[in-house]
Amino acid sequence: MRALVRAALVIARRDYVATVFSRTFLLFLLGPVLPLLFGLAFGAIGAGADEAARPTVVAIASPADAHALRAARDRLAARLGAGALPPLRFVTPRENPRAQARRLLGGEHGGSSAVLSGGLDRPVLTGPRAAIGSIDEDIALILDEAQQLRALGRTAPPPVSLEIRPTERSAATSVQDRAITARAGQIVLLVLTAILSGMLLTNLVEEKSSKVIEILAAAVPVDAIFLGKLIAMLGMSLTGIAVWGAVAAAGALAMLPPEASLPQPAVGWGTFLLLGLAYFVAGYLLLGGLFLGIGAQASTAREVQTLSLPVTMGQLIVFALASAAVARPGSGVAIAAALFPWSSPLAMFARAAQSALLWPHLLAILWQAGWVAVVIRIAARRFRVSVLDSRGARRGWFGWRRVGREGGHA
Amino acid sequence: MTRDFAIEARGLVKDFAGRRVLDGIDLAVPSGTIYGLLGPNGAGKTTLLRALLGIIDPDAGQRRLLGEEAPLKAARLIGYLPEERGLYPAMTAREAIAFMGALRGLPLAEGRRRAAALLAAHGLGEAAGRAIRTLSKGMAQTVQLLGTLVHRPRLIVLDEPFSGLDALNQERLETLIRAEAAGGATVLFSTHVIAHAERLCERIAIIADGRARFEGSVEEARAKLRPEVRLGTRAADGAWRAALPPGAARDSDGIWHFALPENGIEPLLRALIDGDAGIETLSIERPGLHEAFVAIAGEAAAAQMGAAGVLAA
């Protein structure tokens, strides 16, 4: 066992150094940042576009009505936010309101999306259906408020000052809140595991193409090769996660308000994050072992893609199973999700958000570690049988032989 | 099986896709010798080496390397150069050698130290810090060979080590193999070049069609054929011709060729002198390994070796 671990660490060290100290690793680190930057950039552009596309309403109103509408809008905007209501511009009425509305819609006074006429008593909103359809209720709300303010006159009360007293979450809401944390944790875990372990698919293809695999296989057990590669890629993934996590934490501290956070998980944030790390490692090794085994069967990147498709679909099913466990903790589905090796990390991580009991996690981690050993063993065996042991005839996953294209060796 | 042999194999069988690649091969490589596996391409040499080293498992038979039935248990004492050369292109020459040593249990720091010394000793000192991808093919092959030796193995297994090397590097490799054997290591190498085996090996196995057609010393292989006698006479005919063994043939230059009679050359000489044949030339030539190979493995296998263009090497 010591020899196997020692050999695995030699291979892991080589792979880790070769990967992390390469230029492509920088691109790998930038990978998740680029979509974020694009998102922010396009978000800003989109926000500008939304501002430009917001309908402008010109109100044909007497000075008194204009004053009332402006006051009503300001009062509502103080509660709903200025962006929630369409901006109003005011023009004084002329002899023919309909003709004036047409001119305004046609471009007079800088143009407008809609025209409000008829004063507070018989208001009419004129404009293209697409424009007035999105603002008619907002305009009606402003008109209501304006009418009430006019009716109350000086007796209109000032806006209510609401005192805010935050408390700990009530028992009724904590279950729902923790489910949010559980789902968020599952999604993060799934995304990280799937993206990072997927890289293992091509790992052995490269190894085979560099012809080093025979040197490795002659010197150390194939299990050690697989374990070493998993450790190396896990180390690389944790390095990436550490960098991304640090950047994300710094960004969150700088940009998000202090009160913006997920609900506290049942086991507390510290334990939750530690368990998250443990379940990521377990999930990564389980899925990575599977991917490595599949990658070992393939000779080309195209074969890798073909072989990985069923696993990718399987991941979606696993996520659905783990997700169902969040909705019904303690149910048969939740137990099944915790027991099935590939959904177990996701299900148990969610459980850490929903239940404070710690001993099930110890059992789950041991269970998953056992399965990691089994997966590596099977994948290594398949690799040995189908690649090293039959350069002329390669066997399928279930043992049948197929004639390969590598005959002619001596 | 005893520990006087670095490698022992009994009845190794391996099938690929219904084709028998190894067909009950027996092998015994004495410790401290240079041993050659001789055979044409496709004979089963590489499969035999892989089976011996535990890269693949035989379907039947037994194997023992350095006293271990599980070859990987002796991995630290074995150096292996596969036929398909492979190194990580981005690794430096020094790191590649140290890595190969580390796989065999040599600490990395010691591996780096030895790698630098080995590279310098083989004229590649300046290449120590260069990436493999920047080296010439010959240099990369040397680096891989040094990686095979860096942990000072007791058993060195080389699969077609001369393949792809120019004449100068082939000579250097022969010198290196002799030096390793002189240092006490056992060297097993496969080749389809008879000349290398003839120059280097104390013992050989001739492999053809997955079977060991011969296993023994080079001398024993040669002894499979009787020495050839070449005789030139002044007289074209006479009573002395009756003394020539059956099968004696005369070439266009009038020289007789025949195998040395079992009772020796003296009775024939007496008959030639008494019959007044007038001996002009007489030579007795011991057959080379090539002739022995033809006799043992057959014309077809020899033709394959010849087709590889290697007999003259």
For chain B, domain boundaries: 5-222, 228-285
CATH topology classification for B5-222: Rossmann fold (3.40.50)
pLDDT of res. B231: 92
Residues A119 and A256 in one domain: no
Query: In this structure, is residue A168 part of a structural domain?
Result: no
Mean pLDDT, chain B, rounded, equals 88
Average pLDDT, stretch A97-123?
Answer: 79
pLDDT tens for A173-186 read 567 777 788 888 88
Q: What is the pLDDT of residues A341-353, one digit of tens each?
A: 989 998 898 888 8
Q: What is the mean pLDDT of chain A?
A: 79
pLDDT value, residue A392:
43
More confident residue, A41 or B227: B227
Cβ atoms within 10 Å of B270's Cβ, excluding its own: 12
- Nearest residue of chain A to residue B77 (CA atoms): A219
Smallest Cβ distance to A219: which of B44, B75, B91?
B75
Q: Which of B53, B72, B158, B209 to mutate to test the interface with A (most CBs of A within 10 A)?
A: B72
> Measuring CA to CA, how many Å separate A282 from each of A13, A231, A340, A356, B166?
20, 12, 13, 21, 51
Provide the terminal-to-terminal Cα distance of chain B, rounded to the nearest Å: 36
Q: In 3D, which of A335, A111, A214 has the Cα closest to residue B54?
A: A214
ipTM summary value: 0.81
Instruction: State how far the Cα of A113 lies from the Cα of A184, in Å rounded to an integer.
Output: 41
**Model pLDDT, residue A261:** 65
Which chain B residue's Cα is nearest to A408?
A: B42
Q: Is residue B100 within 8 Å of A215, Cβ to Cβ?
A: yes
Q: How far is B150 from chain A (nearest CA, A)?
A: 13
Which of B84, B100, B105 has the CB atom closest to A214's CB atom?
B84
pLDDT in tens, B103-153: 999 999 999 999 999 999 999 999 999 999 999 888 999 999 999 999 999
A298 and A393 belong to one structural domain:
yes
Task: For residue B2, give every residue at least 6 positions away whose Cβ sits within 8 Å of its Cβ, in sequence order, or none.
Answer: B8
The distance between the two most distant Cα atoms of chain A, rounded to a whole number of Å, is 104
- Tell me whether residues B103 and A403 touch, CB distance under 8 A: no
Q: Which of A127, A155, A183 is at the close of a domain?
A: A155
**C-alpha distance from residue B313 to each of A216, A405, B84, B203 (Å):** 31, 31, 21, 19
Residues A312, A266 share a domain: yes
pLDDT at A85 over 50: yes
Q: How far apart are CA B174 and CA B157, in angstroms?
A: 14
Same domain assignment for residues A151 and A179: no
Query: Would you state the pLDDT for residue A172?
Result: 53
A115 is in which domain, residue-wise? 55-155
A298 located within any domain: yes
Judge if A239 and A275 occupy the same domain.
yes
Q: To the nearest 10°, the Cα dihedral for B88, B89, B93, B94?
A: -50
Chain A residues with CB under 8 Å of B78 CB are: 218
Is A313 within the bounds of a domain? yes
**Between the CA of residue B140 and those of A185, B86, B119, B196, what are the distances in Å?**
49, 9, 11, 22
Q: Do A300 and A355 reside in the same domain of the chain?
A: yes
> In the structure, what pLDDT confidence band is assigned to residue A52 with cuts at 50, 70 and 90?
low
DSSP designation for A84 = G
Report how far Cα B273 is from the mean position of its chain's Cα atoms: 44
Residues of B in Cβ contact (< 8 Å) with A23: none
Q: Which of B59, B60, B56, B54 is nearest to B73 (CA)?
A: B54
State residue A378's pLDDT score.
87
| Structural domains counted in chain A | 2
pLDDT exceeds cutoff 50 at B225: yes
Residues A210 and A248 in one domain: yes
- Looking at the structure, tell me whether residues A316 and A343 fall in a common domain: yes
Split at pLDDT 50, 70, 90, the class of A402 is: very low
- The per-residue pLDDT for range B18-34, each reduced to its tens digit, is 889 999 999 999 999 99
Confidence at B263, pLDDT banded by 50, 70, 90: confident
Same domain, yes or no, for A208 and A79?
A: no
Mean pLDDT of A308-334: 83
For A13-28, write each residue's pLDDT tens digit: 999 998 888 888 888 8
For residue B157, report the phi and psi dihedrals to the nearest 5 degrees: -115, 120
Cα dihedral sign, B285-B286-B290-B296: positive
Average pLDDT over residues B64-73: 91
Average pLDDT over residues A228-256: 85
What is the Cα–Cα distance from A205 to B311, expressed in whole angstroms?
Answer: 37
Amino acid sitting at position A56:
T
pLDDT value of position A340: 92
By Cβ distance, the residue of A210, A220, A388 closest to B56 is A388
CB atoms within 10 A of CB B112: 21
pLDDT for A399? 41
In order of A37, A115, A306, A372, A396, the CA distances from A290 in angstroms are: 33, 65, 14, 9, 15
- Is residue A318, in this structure, part of any structural domain at all? yes
Q: Using alpha carbons, list the distances in angstroms from residue A121 to A62, A73, A140, B151, B258.
A: 12, 17, 12, 99, 134
- Least CB–CB distance from B86: residue in A6, A210, A409: A210
- Together in a domain, A322 and A202: yes
Measured CA to CA, the distance from residue A296 to residue A275 in angstroms comes to 31
Shared-domain flag, residues A256 and A307? yes
Cβ-contact A186, A322 below 8 angstroms? yes
Which token pair is B179?
A: 């030096």
CATH number at residue A121: 3.40.190
Q: Which residues contact A31 (CB under 8 A, 6 or more apart)?
A: none
Task: Give this prediction's pTM.
Answer: 0.71
Find chain A residues with C-beta within 8 A of B23's C-beta: none
Q: Could you tell me the two tokens for B130?
A: 């260069």
CB environment B122-135: b (16+ within 10 A), e (fewer)? bebeebbeebbeeb
A245-294 pLDDT per residue, tens: 888 888 877 777 766 666 778 888 889 889 989 999 998 888 888 887 77
Cα B14 to Cα A256, A404, B42, distances in angstroms: 66, 16, 14
> CB of B308 within 8 Å of any CB in chain A?
no
Q: How far is A3 from chain B (nearest CA, A)?
A: 9
What is the distance in angstroms between the Cα of B157 and the nearest Cα belonging to chain A?
11
d(CA B193, CA B174): 13
